[in-house]
Amino acid sequence: MEILQQIVFVLVLASASFVIRKRVLRIKANIHLGKPNDIKDHPNERLKNVLLIAFGQQKMFKKITPAVLHFFIYAGFLIINLEVLEFIIDGIVGTHRVFAPFLGGLYPVLMNLFEFLAVAVLIACVCFLVRRNVTKVERFQSPEIKGWAKLDANLILTIEIVLMAAILTMNASDQLLQSREPHHYVSTGSIFFSSFLTPIFSNLSTPALIFIERFAWWFHIIGILGFTVYVTYSKHLHIFLAFPNTYYSNLEQKGHVKNMPIVTNEVKSMLGLPSETAATTEPGRFGAKDINDLTWNVLMSAYSCTECGRCTSECPANLTGKKLSPRKIMMDTRDRMEEVGRSLEAGGAGLNDGKFLLGDYITKEEINACTSCNACVEACPVLINPLEIILELRRYVAMEESGAPAQWNAVFQNIETNFAPWKFAPSDRFNWAKEIK
Amino acid sequence: MTENIKIPTVSDLAAQDKTPEVLFWVGCAGSFDDRAKRVTVAFVKILNAVNVDFAVLGNEESCSGDPARRAGNEFLFQMQAMSNIQVLNGYNIKKIVTACPHCFNTLKNEYPELGGNYEVIHHTTFLQQLINDGKIKLKEGGSFKGKKITYHDSCYIGRANNIYEAPREVLASLDADLVEMKRCRTTGLCCGAGGAQMFKEPEHGKKDINIERTEEALATGATTIAVACPFCMTMMNDGVKNKEKESEVKVKDIAELIAEGQGL
């Protein structure tokens, strides 16, 4: 019986690992559909961002209520995973609470800590469900947060609640079994939170208790493995990618727009200036029409987005009813990557499916509404930059399609001929000095 | 006073073999927009009053390229940037002050990688330095005493370049009652003109951004809305007019307020 459980466990673990590995490789390949971008500068500053912003959750604390609730779930995720290690060893080797004899008096302390976190996670998830579905916090009601995006968020919270309930159930039944069969069940001492649950189970027979303990154990570990697989398809991927995303985020002043060296070379040769590098062979598109025109780190940032909507709730265009939503820009980028990835996996056309990020996902009306005010960039707790995508799409429209709004085309013409965005004669530029009264 | 105001051009100085200590980059709005021109004049009066060794480019100035770059026309931006850099480097310019946050951001952050390296200062920071150095002394109990002023953060000096305190310190020196809008500093709401929106009609929506922002400014009860950007100036002015409040509420650039405080 024991050995059968071990075999089943190893099989479950192996298949979960197989699926997770396959998904991780797919996501990696999707990210590398993007253009190369060698980011090796300022490693210390980048590490500092990871520690403060991802690990330390610094930017979350601009909104204190969700920050505290989120912190419980985050701490729970980091620390309860230590217990998962014990689960896995127990499962493979066939032991029960393998760490208990080694840790001695520390073990009950740890168990109490894990349970405290489990209860905190559970309460936080309930609060988040209420915020989303009952009090209806505004940023969760946008058009892009309907359908799958809404279900995804509710599923994550529900799964976490159920997983935490399983830990508490397991510990409660285990504590009863410790008193009934001390030879088989290593003593953990009293564990605070689950001891409130023991009265529910105390009238049950020992075999029933054993069944409940085993069921909760299996439920929790299969749940964790299943959830990990699920995460790779979900916005919840931020739990891993927030860390590299903060590392590779933009360190320049927010006002700086990324230069296009290919244009620099052409402009230099037009002006008769010596250009540093010889003209590259394949210039590709100017700006971005599809995901492969964006750099890999921008694509990774789309996978790091957890759709919290802090960007959209600060966006002046969105606030005044325009179609633009910075969150949707990130979601669209991710959806397009997933679509291309699925197609490639099935041996399909991939990027050549006749669809594009611009047009099929993001419309010109959306990108034309952006004021480049950087409110979205400032708001993002994990340093995602929706503005970079918007500007790259605008570059494609302006330079490859000459499809900028007519009034912008007029501005371009004015700058070219009059060196000002308005139609004034350049020779009148200094007239203001004559008008001083 | 008027006769005494000197506005030397860099080329005049170059003819005398001189280079100004600081170039005042006027910008297209400051040169052509009637309202913004008054800010340019106010700032020039201050520069004169405190004897700053400055000059302007005059007709040699040209669009920084900011709206072209933000509207997606990188070619045009770089053409503008590189010809401006040729002019600036040709005159051996080291330090630039400008009253336009868009020019400021572009010159400071985007010209270096194209070969233009200058110390670029926004006029609010420049004024703050003059006040700190005691070159501008504001009279206590001046005309602003007790007046409510609210400051509208320009995105391009605020979030884009992390300058939040300089304009506020300048305003504090006026002895006025500085009141903040609900959305200020890092969460300041854009006036609606950035990213080349200044030059086109807004996309379809339920409200114009400048109206939203003006309502917020008016809610503070301030009688002066202080701005530090010619585009914000236009947007907030239009907003105040839309709300028919132009007789009670004035939109003023920080340079104008200082010039007023100095009796210039």
DSSP symbols for B40-98: HHHHHHHHHHTT--EEB-GGG----SHHHHHTT-HHHHHHHHHHHHHHHHHTT--EEEE
In A, which residues are within 8 Å of B25 by CB distance? none
Q: Which residues pair with B13 in a beta bridge?
A: none
Residue B3's pLDDT is: 57
Tracing tokens 């759709």 back to the chain, one arrives at A307
Residue A247 and residue A46 in contact, taking contact as beta carbons nearer than 8 Å: yes
- Domain of residue A324, CATH code: 1.10.1060
Q: In this structure, how many other beta carbons lie within 10 angstroms of the beta carbon of residue A222?
A: 15
Give the Cα separation of B99 and B104 in Å (integer). 8
- Which helix (H) or strand (E) covers residue A150, if one does? helix A148-180
Residue A243 inside a domain? The answer is no
Q: Which residues 217-256 of chain B have a CB within 8 Å of chain A?
A: none
Q: Which residues pair with B122 in a beta bridge?
A: B98
Cα distance between the two ends of chain A: 100
- For residue A274, is it left (φ>0), alpha (ψ between -120 and 50) or beta? beta
- Whether residue B67 and residue A421 make contact (CB cut-off 8 A), yes or no, is yes
Q: Does B207 touch chain A (CB under 8 A)?
A: yes
- Whether residue A365 and residue B109 make contact (CB cut-off 8 A), yes or no, is no
- Whether residue B32 and residue A424 make contact (CB cut-off 8 A), yes or no, is yes
Residue A213 inside a domain? The answer is yes
Q: 10-residue block means of pLDDT along chain B (264 residues)?
A: 81 97 98 98 97 97 98 98 98 98 98 98 98 87 86 98 97 92 97 97 97 98 98 98 97 96 88
Torsion of Cα atoms, A283 then A287 then A293 then A295, to 10°: 100
A78: Cβ–Cβ under 8 A, 6 or more apart, which residues? none
- Residue A411 tokens read as 């501005």
Residue A193 inside a domain? The answer is yes
Q: In this structure, how many other beta carbons lie within 10 angstroms of the beta carbon of residue B134?
A: 7
Residue A268 inside a domain? The answer is no
Judgement on whether residues A15 and A41 belong to the same structural domain of the protein:
no
Count how many residues are written for chain B: 264
Report which DSSP code applies to B25: E
- Whether residue B196 and residue A268 make contact (CB cut-off 8 A), yes or no, is no
Interface test with A, best of B62, B75, B83 (most A CBs within 10 A): B75
- Whether residue A268 and residue B82 make contact (CB cut-off 8 A), yes or no, is yes
Q: Which residues 80-119 of chain B have a CB within 8 Å of chain A?
A: 80, 82-83, 86, 105, 108-110, 113-114
User: How many degrees, rounded to 5, is the angle at CA B31 between CA B235 and CA B125?
Assistant: 70
Q: Are strands B250-253 and B119-122 parallel, antiparallel or unpaired?
A: unpaired
Interhelix angle B123-132/B165-172, rounded to 10 degrees, is: 50
State which of A201, A216, A236 marks the end of a domain: A236
- Whether residue A407 and residue B204 make contact (CB cut-off 8 A), yes or no, is no
State which of A371, A386, A401 marks the end of a domain: A401
Residue A435's pLDDT is: 83
- Nearest-by-CA chain B residue for A402: B73
Give the Cα separation of A299 and A331 in Å (integer). 11
Q: Does B63 touch chain A (CB under 8 A)?
A: yes
Residue A389 inside a domain? The answer is yes
- For residue A359, is it left (φ>0), alpha (ψ between -120 and 50) or beta? left
Q: Quote the ipTM score.
A: 0.96
Residue A274's pLDDT is: 82
- Nearest-by-CA chain B residue for A273: B82
Tracing tokens 């100085």 back to the chain, one arrives at B13
Judgement on whether residues A363 and A317 belong to the same structural domain of the protein:
yes
**Closest by alpha carbon to A364, among A413, A314, A320, A323?**
A323
Domains B2-128 and B138-261 alike in fold: yes
- Whether residue B69 and residue A257 make contact (CB cut-off 8 A), yes or no, is yes
In B, which residues are within 8 Å of A365 by CB distance? 203-204
Residue A254 and residue B159 in contact, taking contact as beta carbons nearer than 8 Å: yes
Residue A143 inside a domain? The answer is yes
Domain membership of residue A347 as a residue range: 34-46+284-401
Give the Cα separation of B100 and B142 in Å (integer). 27
- Nearest-by-CA chain A residue for B42: A436
Please tell me the total count of domains within chain A.
Answer: 2
- Nearest-by-CA chain B residue for A310: B187
| pTM, to two decimals | 0.96
Judgement on whether residues A214 and A290 belong to the same structural domain of the protein:
no
- Residue A61 tokens read as 């604390």
Count how many residues are written for chain A: 437
Residue A176 and residue A169 in contact, taking contact as beta carbons nearer than 8 Å: no
Give the Cα separation of A72 and A116 in Å (integer). 10
Q: Does B34 touch chain A (CB under 8 A)?
A: no
Residue A263 inside a domain? The answer is no
Cα distance between the two ends of chain B: 9
Alpha-carbon distances, residue A134 vs A122, A162, B168 (angstroms) = 17, 20, 41
State which of A203, A221, A236 marks the end of a domain: A236
Give me the residue from A314, A408, A415 closest to B200, CB to CB.
Answer: A408
Ranges of each domain in chain B: 2-128, 138-261
Residue A381 and residue A57 in contact, taking contact as beta carbons nearer than 8 Å: yes
- Whether residue B56 and residue A369 make contact (CB cut-off 8 A), yes or no, is no
In B, which residues are within 8 Å of A268 by CB distance? 82
Interface test with B, best of A266, A314, A415, A424 (most B CBs within 10 A): A415
Q: In this structure, how many other beta carbons lie within 10 angstroms of the beta carbon of residue A107?
A: 19
Compute CA A135 distance to the chain's CA centroid, rounded to the nearest angstrom.
24
Give the Cα separation of B179 and B168 in Å (integer). 10
Residue A429 inside a domain? The answer is no
Q: 10-residue block means of pLDDT along chain A (437 residues)?
A: 90 97 98 96 98 96 96 93 92 94 92 96 98 96 96 98 96 95 89 94 95 96 97 97 98 97 92 71 83 98 98 98 98 98 97 98 98 98 98 98 98 98 97 86
In B, which residues are within 8 Å of A398 by CB distance? 71-74
Judgement on whether residues A195 and A335 belong to the same structural domain of the protein:
no
Query: How close does chain A come to B137, measured CA to CA in Å?
Result: 24
CATH number of B138-261: 3.40.50
* Architecture of the domain delimited by B2-128: 3-Layer(aba) Sandwich (3.40)
- Nearest-by-CA chain B residue for A287: B72
Give the Cα separation of B172 and B151 in Å (integer). 11
Residue B257 and residue B144 in contact, taking contact as beta carbons nearer than 8 Å: yes
Q: In this structure, how many other beta carbons lie within 10 angstroms of the beta carbon of residue B215?
A: 14
Give me the residue from B62, B160, B189 closest to A253, CB to CB.
Answer: B160
Residue B1's pLDDT is: 46
Q: What's the one-letter identity of residue A282?
A: E
Alpha helices in A351-398 (DSSP H): 364-368, 375-379, 386-395
Give me the residue from B32, B196, B207 closest to A321, CB to CB.
Answer: B207
Give the Cα separation of B39 and B229 in Å (integer). 10
SS3 B151: strand
Give me the residue from B70, B74, B195 closest to A263, CB to CB.
Answer: B74
Q: In this structure, how many other beta carbons lie within 10 angstroms of the beta carbon of residue A101?
A: 10
Residue A97's pLDDT is: 94
- Whether residue A321 and residue B71 make contact (CB cut-off 8 A), yes or no, is no
